[in-house]
Amino acid sequence: MGGQMTLDALVLAARQRASMETSQFVSDAEVQSYVNQSAYELYDLLVAAYADDYFLAPPFTFVTDGVNDTFPLPADFFKLVGADVSISNGTPGTWVTLRPFEMAERNLYALPGVTPFLGIGAMRYRLRALSIWFLPLPAAGQTMRLLYVPRMVEMADSATLSLAGVVAGDSVTVGATVFAAVSSSPTGTQFLVGASDSVTATNLAAAITAAGLGVTAAASGTVVTLTVGTAPVSLALSASSGHITASLATLTNFFDGISGWTEYVIVDAAAKCGQKEESDVSVLLAQKVALKARIETMRQNRDVGMPHKVSRVRSNPWGNDYPYGRGGGPWGL
């Protein structure tokens, strides 16, 4: 996509804007930190364009146990877009939208025996710290679905895999590719378990590099370092056991500025570099203000042919009296 820029490209552009191409007064690691902090700010500006869904994670589903009313949110949760409950164990087309409750209403929906419609008419939710709280207590076996905005994945140009006691049967997944440890005759993406973790690390590094995932892998002792190339890369990292530990959950080296909005990241990072050098950054800050105004204007209404409209939330689509609409008191859908 044309709006994508890699971390290295953003660092170079920020240095050029700050006239620090050859200066190491601000180290590359510091500029990378500035770029990431500026990217977080741009990410927030785009997330704030509610209903335009620039960043939406795959739906997160879980099944209630009939014992707990509070369940953990996804590890990368940032903002909730919607919460649903299935009336048929997750069957497509059987989702019902849930609505939140206010803290002052916590006892209203906690009353037993007030679930008038398929067991879910009274169900409400509330975000609480790193969990989501449902009232009344959900019955066992109900499938819940969360639509949410994930946290921004911080950009990096490398990640490590640390090995400790790797045995045959262990595996590590890089992106969608599984690298499995075997005791003999490795094929495909398998790697041979050696006499020591250092030897095994060398074998794993060779397997990852040969897979053509856009990263090169090099072993040093029991640690395998994955280094991205010049192309945009985003690879989830996970292991099947504690014998292999990844330093990052996802190795991502780029940010998608959609319509050239990475200029905001470049200008802001350049201003941070100049501030450390105690240079005059007033021009850069003025450019940042103009860029922010442009982004706030253009981020809205991505579907210009069908703009968003006000949603009806106080009654259900079947009318006010079915099944327990406004006439059903506070427990209606």
Condensed to tens digits (0 to 9), the pLDDT of residues 196-244 reads 999 999 999 999 999 999 999 999 999 999 999 999 999 999 999 999 9
Q: Is the pLDDT of residue 164 over 50?
A: yes
> For 54-68, 182-196, 231-245, 304-318, which range has the lowest pLDDT when averaged over its residues?
304-318
| Between 313 and 150, the higher pLDDT residue | 150
pLDDT at 15 > cutoff 80: yes
* 3 — pLDDT class (breaks 50, 70, 90): confident
239 C-beta neighbours (distance < 10 Å), count: 18
Residues 223-233 have pLDDT tens digits of 999 999 999 99
Give the global pTM: 0.83
Greatest C-alpha distance within the chain: 74
72-86 confidence digits (pLDDT tens) = 999 999 999 999 999
pLDDT of residue 309: 56
Res. 324: pLDDT tops 50:
no
Question: Does residue 21 have a pLDDT over 60?
Answer: yes
Task: Return the exposure string of 119-134: e unless at least 16 CB atoms fall within 10 Å of the residue's CB, then b.
Answer: ebbbbbbbeeeeebbb
pLDDT in the model for residue 318: 39
Query: Quick check: 271 and 38 in contact, CB under 8 A?
Result: no
CA distances from 63 to 68, 72, 135 (A): 11, 12, 15
Enter the tokens of residue 88. Answer: 């048929």
Residue-wise pLDDT for 131-140, tens only, equals 999 998 998 9
**Residues 74, 250, 184: CA angle, nearest 5 degrees:** 115
User: How far is Cα 227 from Cα 158, in angstroms, rounded to an integer?
Assistant: 4
